[in-house]
A and B are shown apart, each in its own frame.
Chain A
């Protein structure tokens, strides 16, 4: 199911949260809405779900104008940050909820619930109350509850923010796999650029109610259209060069004893597989990454000099 947003404006309590926004999402795609808090991404998601009324603009599912439709009529399903599992129902009843509301037959519901419990690896937990499950398991239930409805559109509202780091990485892979298997068009809101890049086919970077850039993960990371996107997607080292400033990502700053540039080491952080190094250069600081393996021969010292090369042409961004 394609989704088309056309000239959407939305304001809340005098603040314009979304400004003349247009966006097309292709069938089967997973699109991430990415931006800092207050950028309008959640507002847009809730408009797509129908939980917020359309104030100005149009929304199409396929060719159908659904701008004024209530959420129930749109065949969507939403996964919430706090899961929103019905606390008075069991795991199985939670998953069955939408099916019951839509009038499925009892045995049909039973087999569907069982198969989706299996899909999200919660086989045999159907009778538990939701409070008895861990956070990760609860999110799987929420996922199953949404997917069992075979919705045209799946909506995710920061679904992983309440999980710890390891679980988050594992769950985002699982969401990605389930989404690809089912081919359901999905919109995924997050403020974590790493998560967005890992999970999405395309990323929509938003800021102050405007779309800043739409593109594949690699595009928005390596070819940001402006300073905001560049900064938001990752560390942006600004290097003065002939013909204007260029932005280099930390992995493009390669330390080497024969490097053409030289700076002083301000600080070093060991992050396990990589080292992050802050270097004084051109009266400001650049941040470099390098793999930290034991055979590394180029030793660096705090306060000592380090030499490096700039890989590639860098990113040309407008002055911000």
Chain B
């Protein structure tokens, strides 16, 4: 298999690289190295070259203690959330029941919300004056702590895992399960012996993603962790509360270890063989002969989970329209008035940032993918690895990396050379949050581009060459149009991620370019529940509106194209 692939490369490599393209290639390599790799290394250097108030071992012991907290949370969360995500994926895509389409829609809700806003509902239900804890049970103690974080992470990360694993379920070839069925195996036996073994790469990769996200989550412990804090949330406290960069860097180093391990494992898993088909109909396989207990059991389970999701997002809506939760339950619009009085700049900044990053990061990622795909040399592999690396690093840690790299003049070089040189400090400019987001989400466009290119017929470009098109013309008229779908996927993902991200940029924001998520986060921590709810509702609404606008723009463009071709109105059905 490997050999034939290598042969193909030689066969299809028509044009040798030109000096210009080689120069461009190395330029990109250096830029990516600088934006994605150097900041991570900087954290390690900063931590090791320590000049803190306490001895190194003190910091180390402190970090290891919090690493223990993190693992005590993330490992069980990963296990439980993976199991839930797998059950949800199989139930929603393999069992036919009323309301499953709605359930699939519900599962997309987390995409439109910052990860920590679920804590708003948690406070409303279980807080000091929460609906359940106070009104129902008459408690005034705060149940904040390990279990609160545990539950909130499971709810959030199960949906994340669902999005990942269900994708695998949808794309998997159904033919193996059909063969097993006609061999007389029962549905549960098939699940055990065929479906799950074939889904193993998706489930493993999904669980590693859950683990990484759980390790990186600092918002949930900060808001509802109470005395229970993790390594990530402790990083935040060390920087904003104690201004201890050294301690933060050493904790960061420690946090890097499990994350990089998980990342390497994930890369390995992704290389496992998959059993995806090309044209799988989404509802191709339905478990029709399940035992009723199992069938209604998992459907009931789905409804329960969905009920929790509805609670989670429903209470944000309720909170946004309630005067003073826990004290005065009358309806009001005052929180929205408060939001609009606070000026709309944070929303505008969020939008500008997300659109800019969505376009630039996706374009750059796809460009990298295109170049890596065509080069296929060792530097290409290195480039791919470096481009993907930021995905492994918790956002807050990546942010610290930028902090300790770019607080020095000459874009960080001034720390070592040209000490008296020109004062080019990236930190403290409005630009740095764009730069960090572009590199943080580079991997999305890179992945989308590479996977599209992997399925593309290598002859298409060759065909253009043999028909007499120049290299640039080929790229413009053949390669780029073919890469459009990857751009669309990457853009939507990067846009929504940037709108809802906080970790990477929280230390780099300036008062003048503060974003909505940061505002929401600050307001939650100062317990203005109503305003926070109103703001996150507005943010979700804004995102939904923008996405709707972009989708209809696209749909309209297709419609227009069809109109010009004169094929509109004919429903060309494929048999």
Contact = CB atoms under 8 A, between A and B. Distances in A.
Residue from A53, A75, A78, A97 with most neighbouring chain B CB atoms (10 Å): A97
A71 B194 contact: no
A84 interface: yes
B22 interface: no
Interface in A69-102: 70-73, 75-78, 80, 82, 84-88, 97-98, 101-102
Contacts of A101: 180, 183-186, 189, 193
A72 B179 contact: no
Given A84-B175, A86-B194, A88-B198, A70 B182 contact: no
A189 to B, nearest CB: 14
B175 A80 contact: yes
A167 interface: no
A155 B181 CA distance: 13
Interface in B159-206: 175-176, 178-187, 189, 193-194, 197-198
B417 interface: no
B289 A78 contact: no
B538 to A, nearest CB: 40
Contact of B198 (A71, A87, A102): A87
Contact of B182 (A38, A78, A88): A78
Contacts of B575: 15, 37-38
Contacts of A155: 182
Contacts of A51: 178, 181-182
Nearest to A14: B573
A97 B183 contact: yes
Nearest to A37: B575
Nearest to B571: A14
A63 to B, nearest CB: 21
A149 interface: yes
Given A51-B178, A84-B176, A97 B185 contact: yes
Residue from B175, B273, B275 with most neighbouring chain A CB atoms (10 Å): B175
A78 B275 contact: no
A204 B547 CA distance: 52
A13 B574 CA distance: 11
A208 to B, nearest CB: 10
A98 B198 contact: no
Nearest to B96: A53
Interface string A248-285: 00000000000000000000000000000000000000
A200 interface: no
A43 B289 CA distance: 20
A243 to B, nearest CB: 38
Interface of B: 175-176, 178-187, 189, 193-194, 197-198, 273, 275, 288-289, 573, 575
12 contacts: A15-B575, A38-B575, A50-B181, A51-B178, A51-B182, A71-B182, A72-B289, A77-B183, A88-B197, A88-B198, A98-B180, A155-B182
Lowest 9 CB-CB distances: which A-B pairs, in order?
Answer: A98-B183, A70-B289, A101-B185, A38-B575, A84-B179, A78-B182, A84-B175, A71-B181, A88-B197
Given A72-B181, A145-B183, A146-B182, 17 more contacts: A15-B575, A38-B575, A50-B182, A53-B288, A71-B178, A71-B181, A72-B289, A73-B289, A78-B178, A78-B179, A78-B182, A84-B175, A87-B198, A98-B180, A101-B183, A146-B183, A155-B182
